[in-house]
Amino acid sequence: MINALESSSLRPYLIRALYEWCTDHGFTPYVAVQVDESVQVPREYVKNGEIVLNISYDATSALKLGNEFIEFKARFAGTARDILVPVGRVVAIYARESGQGMAFSAPVPPESGAAAKASPLRDASRGNNNDGETRVVHLVTDGEETAAVDAPSDSPDDEPPRPSAGGARPALKRVK
């Protein structure tokens, strides 16, 4: 039986939505990509296994934001290059000017055995990363600093981390 998360990922839809939001508001959309052998980018621009790409209309040619791949042509040091990024390797999309956007969980390398059969949805909801620690990510907007913090969790496996007592509760804001 195929897991619902495996059969239809939200990631490509969210990338397209945030790309559209950036362009509609005059922002420059950037994507951060975790590079491996499946990512086709100029390797000389990869730092610490990651590359940040400007995917704005002005910086790309023939941009396709597909369900499986982001494809486009771009110039690096005056040389046109074909870029191919599997959607699963995108770790963030954000507006260069404001930093607003969305971070995704890091891609998980294929595993064998029983660990590979665990539900990715359950693991993602618990926030587990590859080394068994829980990853707590705090994203704060509305003019406040954005921060991402990795921290071990002392909570039981079935319980998601709770916000600290002094922090404000998340809230939705209606925008007209």
Q: What is the pTM of this model?
A: 0.60
Q: Total structural domains in the chain?
A: 2
Does 13 lie in the same domain as 99?
yes
The pLDDT-based confidence of 169 (bands split at 50, 70, 90) is low
Same domain, yes or no: 79 and 123: no
Distance of CA 111 to the CA centre of its chain: 21
Tokens of 118: 């665990």
> Are residues 128 and 60 both part of a single domain?
no
Which of 76, 104, 132 is the C-terminal boundary of a domain?
Answer: 104
Please, are residues 42 and 81 in contact by the beta-carbon 8 Å criterion?
A: yes
Of the residues 57, 75, 104, the one at which a domain ends? 104
Domain finish residue from 104, 130, 153: 104
Is residue 149, in this structure, part of any structural domain at all?
Answer: yes
pLDDT of residue 139: 46
- Same-domain check for residues 126 and 157: yes
Claim to verify: residue 70 and residue 19 sit in the same structural domain = yes
Indicate if 120 and 97 belong to the same structural domain. Answer: no
Write out pLDDT tens, residues 60-113: 999 999 999 999 999 999 999 999 999 999 999 999 999 999 999 888 765 544
129 with 100, same domain: the answer is no
Q: Angle 99-88-131 (CA atoms, 0-180°, nearest 5)?
A: 90
